[in-house]
Amino acid sequence: MLHGHGDDAYLFRHKIKADFSTNVWQEGEPEGLKEHLFDQWHLVRKYPEVLAESLNRQVAHHYHLKTEQVLISNGTTESIYLIAQAYRGMKTTIATPAFSEYEDACRLHRHQLTFIPWDELHDNSALGAEVLFICNPNNPTGSVFPSLEALIHNHPQTMFVLDEAFIEFTLSIPSAVPLLNRYENLIILRSMTKAFAIPGLRLGYILANEKQIALLRDLKFPWSVNALAIEAGKFIFEHYGQLQLPIRPLLQEKEIFTNQLQKINVKVQQSHTHFFLAETAKGSAEELKQYLIEHYGILIRDASNFRGLQNKHFRLATLAPDQNQLLIQALTTWNQRYT
């Protein structure tokens, strides 16, 4: 899907004052990163490392893995398409609602697709799939699947592709990285763009057993990760302990925000992250998005194109309190237009 994602302000002529459409950390990149990248500008005069080998070593060391268990990618989207290509034509199930690129990548590579609603997925579910894509925490709902190890254990013939792009934004579940030592049917996708606010650089990585990484590495084209993205990743892992999100205050602000939304007749789904799904009581999400852009310079994520959702669904991320209040006021006016 080339269009239909969040953070699409560039498509509109109106100036955006508050962007609720993206679930990237709203306070920006880590302190010192910009200056570091400016100092490394000379690297753009040469080709980057073919497979981002220096960053690969850092990631492996951080997780106490072998370098052969890590593959650096041009963001999670490249990771998804590599995996879809590697398992071309297989019987694949996607837990929905879900990031559209799982389905798009699988259709491109002729997977035999089925879908299982998130609420119907349990540790003893009968999958019958060779590959399962699951995002935990889920995008767009912010839900978590707490018994993932049991699900993996109960389905040894299924390769689990676990997208942990938003694992830094929850306190409800731990990362599944320790499970890599116990299960060969697990591939973990990690993003460096969300929690560290560098989506424009495109950077992520895949963690799995050596056999799976070798399979993916053989399909990867050279130089897909640019030199500045590599340096950004190295900077982040060198300062990893100091760059963790203030997740408790962020989730507390999310609770305040969602409570206020519900008071003005906006239905909100429970979420374990800073982002969440909502439903407009008046009009459609598409109409609401256009209204907010034109009248308030506010951008939301129309979520109606997620499989399994309806035309009233939209996704919001928690921003600063003053920006949250701006949206509350705008939605109040929106509701009054229909009374």
CA contacts within 13 A on the Cβ side of 43 = 16
What CATH architecture applies to the domain 9-25+246-336? Alpha-Beta Complex (3.90)
Burial 25-44 (b: 16+ CB within 10 A, else e): bbeebbeebeebbeebeebe
Residue 325 has pLDDT above 90, yes or no: yes
pLDDT at 7: 58
Domain boundaries, the chain: 9-25+246-336, 33-242
- Closest listed residue to residue 80, CA positions, set 95, 102, 64, 100: 102
What CATH architecture applies to the domain 33-242? 3-Layer(aba) Sandwich (3.40)
Instruction: Give the pLDDT mean for 67-80.
Output: 97
Chain segment 221-272, per-residue pLDDT in tens: 999 999 999 999 999 999 998 998 999 999 999 999 999 999 998 999 999 9
| % of the chain surpassing 70 pLDDT | 96
Chain segment 162-177, per-residue pLDDT in tens: 999 999 999 999 999 9
